Structure 1
Amino acid sequence: MKHTILVTGGTGYIGSWVTKGLLENGHTVRLTVRDKSKPEKFAFLTEIANDSPGTLEIWEADLMKAGSFDAPAKGADLIAHLASPFILNVKDPQRDLIDPAVKGTENVLSAANHSGTVKKVVLTSSVAAIHGDNVDMENMGLEEFTEAQFNTSSSLNHQPYSYSKVMAEKRAWEIANAQSDWQLVVMNPAFVMGPSLTTQSKSESLKLVTDLLTGKFKSGAPELYFGFVDVRDIAKAHIYGLEHTAEGRHILSNQVASFLDMSKVISKKYGNTYKLPKSFAPKWLLSLIGGLFGVTRMFVKNNVGYHLKLNNNKSKTALKMEYIPFETTVIDMVEQMRAQKII
């Protein structure tokens, strides 16, 4: 069955892969952009649409403007809401992160309420809405994190990005539970990696890998463990959630790994081409110099050296996920960065 799907954030790192997949599957995609008069921002998707059975429509809408999604939502039967700020170093967390994330979600879901046609909304949240610090697992007496947990350790002052994801997702569930016209399905991806469809990508993962390859951690990497997931897998999960029956939250994570694990994958392929770390930096040193890397002492205290386990069973059973190997994700990303002369 072919659908008319409103996609917010469809030109972004994750969203562009979702848009591509939906077009290839023959759907009509209503892509929202802030300014239609700048076609260069979405030209790469227009090219994909020209070679796909689906149809691409461009609509103007602003996350922060109430009512601006009402027109593109009317007549759509599905919404994929991917638009949300992902900036780790901000001057004003409330203004730059919390307000856009929460108000944007409110405006999009309000449009679903007003549409009379929307039956399902797939929302991109994050594992950051499930846990804040890695020490949380120990403090909560957990063997692993599942979809049952909500992050309670992040705040406006500590990990504000994670806090924005918690606040936006909780608000989404409040709005969804107050009506019966449409169903909410949530995706909670871990740290996103893999190739980008656009050279305009400013993803945090691109910054992280650039830092790693250019020697920022050559004398020692922080002992930090993240869940990693390929951007193409996240797109597959969203598309499955839109096209098939799905409910609730879904952790999207292939495996937990450290910077050293990533470095080993890269050095196995490229030898000594890059100044990669070969050991972990001492935690006490990171506490002293963390500010140079944009992390606080509190972040170092609650995350460095603490292992993490994310249960991805639901994604495998409910969304039929078969994850791309971590090694493939890393190398595909590095290869693209080399081709684009980023490194």
Structure 2
Amino acid sequence: MKKVGIIGGSGFIGSYITKQFLENDYEVKVSATDISREDKYEHLMTLKNSENLYISELNVENKAALADFVNDCDMVIHSGTPFQLSVDDVQKDLFIPTIKGTENFLEVINKTPSIKKVVLIASVAAWNTDFPMPAGGKSFTDTFDENDARFTSEQSHPYCQAKFIANQVVENFIKNNPKTSFEISTVSPVAVMGKSLSNREDSTSTGLQFLIKNNIAPDDFIQAMYDNDVPFAIVDVADVANATFKAATTKGLHGKDYLLTSETYKVSDIRAMLNHQEPKEKAQIIYKNNLAKTDLDVDFRPVKETLNSYSN
């Protein structure tokens, strides 16, 4: 039985990834920042084949602990960088764990002979730090795929900048280490939505759906989205997990970075669907998923189905 280590495997996306590997008969080791907080991972214990699940405490900034975590794994999924739109200390809460955490991770992985495959869960921000606004020089109706140039701006949200820089760390590692004994692939989801597997209320993704559904704006960033009725490209959390599993178990994908995306709707139509109403406008395809469909054989479900899952 192969073993996969999933950093962040009890989070919103990570829980679905954990579920996918357990259902496919893998031994699964999941990291927890505080193993005494059972409320953060107890939902995983109800999953099918949970007897093959192990919870291990880990701080990704601690290289010794990280080395111990991945030591006996055949593959590792890194879904452990923070997704926070509101932080007190940008360096401490975002840049250090995201960027330094990625550097530490790659350094440790490179010294672990058992590992054959690594998948990093990045973000559409690794392609466009202005998301959900268009990348520089593009309009809201211009399409975007993996053939487009990556775009970043110092005016972008700090979370997006951190994800962009972390992706540069990965690209530079691949360039500077051409003969690794393992493959690295990356998946870059757009706005991830759907129903959480846990009852936790600290997920940014589920929190954003709650805010939009109830027309709540806790800050200027969210209010500006409402005021401008910004279009959002959305992907289902279960589809992200499926794509991650395919990327981890398919050979020959070294260096690939896949946009994971379905349809795009304006915020007003997202709110309507979250309240079981019909959208006023038809879905658009702005961020394209052709590469993920071709290489990973993933079918992305309609956004209406995703939002209905959350609302129910």
Give the TM-score, by structure 2 length: 0.86
Query: Residue 56 of structure 2: which of 31, 40, 59 is its match?
Result: 59
AA aligned opposite 2:272: K
User: What CA distance in whole angstroms lies between the structure 1 residues aligned with 2:199 and 2:265?
Assistant: 26
AA aligned opposite 1:181: S
Instruction: Indicate yes or no: 2:91 matched with 1:94.
Output: yes
User: What CA distance in whole angstroms lies between the structure 2 residues aligned with 1:264 and 1:42?
Assistant: 32
Answer whether contact 1:144 1:310 (CA < 8 A) is retained: yes
Query: Residue 166 of structure 2: which of 151, 157, 168 is its match?
Result: 168
Q: How far apart are 1:126 and its partner, in Å?
A: 0.6
Tell me which residue corresponds to 2:209.
Answer: 209
User: What CA distance in whole angstroms lies between the structure 1 residues aligned with 2:257 and 2:158?
Assistant: 21
Instruction: Indicate yes or no: 2:206 matched with 1:238.
Output: no
* Deviation sequence 1:271-292 (CA, Å, 0-9, x none): 9xxxxx999xxxxxxxxxxxxx
Instruction: Indicate yes or no: 2:228 matched with 1:222.
Output: yes
User: What CA distance in whole angstroms lies between the structure 2 residues aligned with 1:36 and 1:207?
Assistant: 24
* Deviation sequence 1:28-84 (CA, Å, 0-9, x none): 111111233333322211221xx3277112222101222221012112110100001
AA aligned opposite 1:259: V
User: What CA distance in whole angstroms lies between the structure 2 residues aligned with 1:324 and 1:163?
Assistant: 29
* Deviation sequence 1:295-328 (CA, Å, 0-9, x none): xxxxxxxxxxxx9821210011111111111111
User: What CA distance in whole angstroms lies between the structure 2 residues aligned with 1:308 and 1:240?
Assistant: 23
User: What CA distance in whole angstroms lies between the structure 1 residues aligned with 2:56 and 2:176?
Assistant: 28
Q: Which runs of 5+ in 2 are unaligned?
A: 218-222
SS at match of 1:210: helix
Q: How far apart are 1:175 and its partner, in Å?
A: 2.2
SS at match of 1:226: strand
Tell me which residue corresponds to 1:249.
Answer: 257
AA aligned opposite 2:293: K
AA aligned opposite 2:65: S
- Identical residues among aligned pairs (%): 27
Tell me which residue corresponds to 2:267.
Answer: 259
* Deviation sequence 1:79-108 (CA, Å, 0-9, x none): 100001111122322221111101111222
Aligned-residue Cα RMSD (Å) equals 2.6
Query: Residue 309 of structure 2: which of 307, 329, 332 is its match?
Result: 332
Tell me which residue corresponds to 1:285.
Answer: none
SS at match of 1:207: helix
Q: How far apart are 1:163 and its partner, in Å?
A: 0.5
Q: How far apart are 1:162 and its partner, in Å?
A: 0.7
SS at match of 2:87: coil
Count of aligned pairs between the two proteins: 296
Pairing 1:306-317 to 2, within 5 Å after superposition: 309-317=286-294
Which aligned runs of 4 or more in structure 1 are off by greater than 6 angstroms? none
Tell me which residue corresponds to 1:288.
Answer: none
Tell me which residue corresponds to 1:27.
Answer: 26
Give the TM-score, by structure 1 length: 0.79
User: What CA distance in whole angstroms lies between the structure 1 residues aligned with 2:41 and 2:134?
Assistant: 41
AA aligned opposite 2:157: Q
AA aligned opposite 2:195: P
User: What CA distance in whole angstroms lies between the structure 2 residues aligned with 1:310 and 1:249?
Assistant: 14
User: What CA distance in whole angstroms lies between the structure 2 residues aligned with 1:79 and 1:112?
Assistant: 9
User: What CA distance in whole angstroms lies between the structure 1 residues aligned with 2:307 and 2:42?
Assistant: 27
Q: How far apart are 1:127 and its partner, in Å?
A: 0.7
User: What CA distance in whole angstroms lies between the structure 2 residues aligned with 1:255 and 1:270?
Assistant: 17
